[in-house]
Structure 1
Amino acid sequence: MSTRAETVEFLTDQLSALPTIRSRKMFGEYCLYCDDKPVAFVCDDELFVKPTDAGRGYLGDPDEAPAYPGSKLYFRVSGDRWEDREWLTALIDLTAAALPAPRPKKPRK
């Protein structure tokens, strides 16, 4: 099962307070970026946030699960938390701040 476009549209709308939030479709699923950093995946209409110490502190005791078969564990954020725009925005903002800047891309030859 792949993620519906409406799910990603809802999440990006909820996170619209972050000016650099964007999504990218990948293999039927989606990656959410903040400040050009991949901060979360949306797989099978579920949100999986990259694990960071800041995110763990914010969530307390997070539900950890693989985003897709064979992946490492991510913080799974249940759909009922998606409605709280401020809470969700704070989690993604903390996660983005804790992640390293993306590496510069090599120019194509």
Structure 2
Amino acid sequence: MSTSPASIEHILDTLSDQPVTFKKMFGEYALYLNGIVVAFVCDDTLFIKPTPSALAILPEAPRGPAYPGSKDYIIGAEALDDPDLCIRALRAVASDAPAPKPKKPKSPKPL
């Protein structure tokens, strides 16, 4: 089962005053905050990355795998009921993320 576009629209509407974007991946979605992956949406459920700061903000939130074989993520369904809390958790994930690696310049294609 994959995530419906309506679920993504609901999440983006809930967090509309934040720079949250998404990319579709394998029928599911990755959520980005300022270009950093902070969560996934799988089977219409928000899964927030379990960084130390996010766990401190949402210590009682349920956890579970986003997809078969994945590590446990914070299930963000209840956090979405409080958009300020949800965005605090997403910002915490972004602040815990390592700096992005510089991208290699693309080599020109041979003619």
Same fold (TM over 0.5): yes
Give 1:81-92 correspondences, 5 Å limit: 81-92=79-90
Aligned to 2:12: 12
How far residue 103 of structure 1 moved from its aligned partner, in angstroms, is 1.5
Following superposition of structure 1 onto structure 2, how do residues 1-109 of structure 1 map, counting pairs within 5 Å? 1-19=1-19, 21-78=20-77, 80-109=78-107
Q: Letter of the 2:49 partner, please give it.
A: K
- The amino acid that maps onto 1:71 is S
Residues 26-83 of structure 1: per-residue CA shift (max 9 Å, x gap)? 00000001121110000000010111111111112332211111111111122x4323
* TM-score normalised by structure 1 residue count: 0.88
RMSD: 1.4
Structure 2 distance, partners of 1:17, 1:4, is: 22
Stretches of structure 2 that go unaligned for 5 or more consecutive residues are none
- Maintained 8 Å contact 1:55/1:95: yes
Q: Contact between 1:36 and 1:102, CA under 8 Å: does it hold in 2?
A: no
- Which blocks of at least 5 consecutive residues in structure 1 are unaligned? none
Number of matched pairs: 107
Query: Structure 1 vs Structure 2: percent identity of aligned residues?
Result: 43
Question: Structure 1 residue 100: deviation in Å?
Answer: 1.4
| CA distance in structure 2 between the partners assigned to 1:14 and 1:32 by the alignment | 13
Normalising by the residue count of structure 2, what TM-score does the alignment of the two structures yield?
0.87
Shift of 1:101: 2.2
